[in-house]
Amino acid sequence: MKELLILSGKGGTGKTTITAALAVLYKDKIIADYDVDAPDLHILLKPEPITIMPFYSGFKAKILQDKCVKCGTCLEICNFEAITIENNDYFVKDTGCEGCGVCIKFCPENAIVSEINNCGEWFISETPFGIMAHAQLGIGEENSGKLVSTVKKNAKDIAKKNGINFIISDGPPGIGCPVISSISGVNLVLIVTEPTLSGLHDLNRVKLLADHFKVPSFVCINKFDINLSVSKEIENWCEISDSEVISKIPFDHYIDESIKKGIPITLYNKDAPSSKEIELMAHKIENILKKM
Ligand code: SF4
Ligand code: SF4
């Protein structure tokens, strides 16, 4: 089983656009979206869920109204301001409870219980381009790393079940816990950057992360021609950082058109300059993975 993970370190570099474009080109694969906080791969790949499951993580307090005598202790002692009063009744807010259990311990009436926290959903879906594993974390919920691990396991399980040996995955932005969860066990990281100084800064951070986990990485400069001098700076940086630029995708107005229409560029216009470059990159990646 081989897995290609596409990362960027920051949003807005075109990572998801490129993931979707590659997903169209590769034939036998499972698609995974590890951006569980703000997923957007679905906009281009149009998944139709065949399985929807709740995601539970951690605990939250719940006040049993029939036992509560409205003494106010919980409101006073909650360090997270997660208790509220509505119409003279005490409630735990939908967001804010950290499940620390202090209120449960000190409620004089034993009127507070802990409940398993339902903080999102995960999905297995069909897309016109193959099966996709993805998820959505609830607003303000934490533990996205654990949900990423769930999506990763789902992608691997479906791949095994269907005799598929390749997973292409869209990573979360940043370099935090969800990215660390997503990088575990992958064979190759494709870092999508853009020719800006913040792009170069974030490329450096993702490369360090990939190196730390001993995952080989390659660099794709998206819209390289909008700033040729910074693109050159990125290439120079890659040379001294033991990194290889695998692709330089030109700025292409067809990409904007394809995004507006919600169609991956490699399907929208196979002859567009960006599509041709992405196709070339897809072959290079395929060859690299074959040799691994
Ligand atoms: S501490 Fe217990 S009894 Fe007092 S207001 Fe809170 S839930 Fe009600
Ligand atoms: S469990 Fe902790 S965070 Fe949640 S309401 Fe009780 S005291 Fe506040």
Sign of CA dihedral 94, 99, 103, 109: positive
Mean pLDDT of 225-252: 95
pLDDT in tens, 196-236: 989 999 999 999 999 999 999 999 999 999 999 999 999 99
Tally Cβ neighbours within 10 Å of residue 52: 11
**Length of the chain measured in residues:** 292
When the candidates are 3.90.79.10, 3.40.50.300, 3.40.50.720, 3.40.50.1820, the CATH number that belongs to 2-46+128-290 is 3.40.50.300
Give the three-state DSSP class for 178. helix
Instruction: Determine whether domain 56-118 maps to CATH 3.40.50.300.
Output: no
What single-letter amino acid sits at 262?
G
User: DSSP letters of 120-138?
Assistant: EEEEEEEETTEEEEEEEEP
Domain map (residue ranges) of the chain? 2-46+128-290, 56-118
CA atoms within 13 A on the CB side of 207: 21
Output the residue whose Cα is nearest ligand 2's atom 2.
Answer: 100
Check: CB of residue 5 under 8 Å from CB of residue 32. no
pLDDT in tens, 8-29: 977 789 999 999 999 999 999 9
Q: Which ligand has the minimum distance to the alpha carbon of residue 102?
A: 2
On the question of pLDDT at 94 being above 90, the answer is no
Phi, psi of 94 (to 5 degrees): -65, -35
Q: How far is the CA of 79 from the centre of ligand 1 (A)?
A: 15
Domains 2-46+128-290 and 56-118 share a fold: no
pTM for the full predicted model: 0.88
Q: How far is the CA of 141 from the centre of ligand 2 (A)?
A: 15
Q: How far is the CA of 292 from the centre of ligand 1 (A)?
A: 60
Q: How far is the CA of 90 from the centre of ligand 1 (A)?
A: 7
Give the three-state DSSP class for 47. coil
Bridge-partner residues for 86, per DSSP? 89
**Which ligand 1 atom sits closest to the C-alpha of 75?**
6
Bridge-partner residues for 61, per DSSP? 114
Q: Which residues line ligand 1 (CB under 6 A)?
A: 63, 68-74, 90, 107, 109, 111-112
- pLDDT tier, 41 (very low <50, low <70, confident <90, very high otherwise): very high
**Average predicted confidence (pLDDT) for the chain:** 94
**Which ligand 2 atom sits closest to the C-alpha of 59?**
1
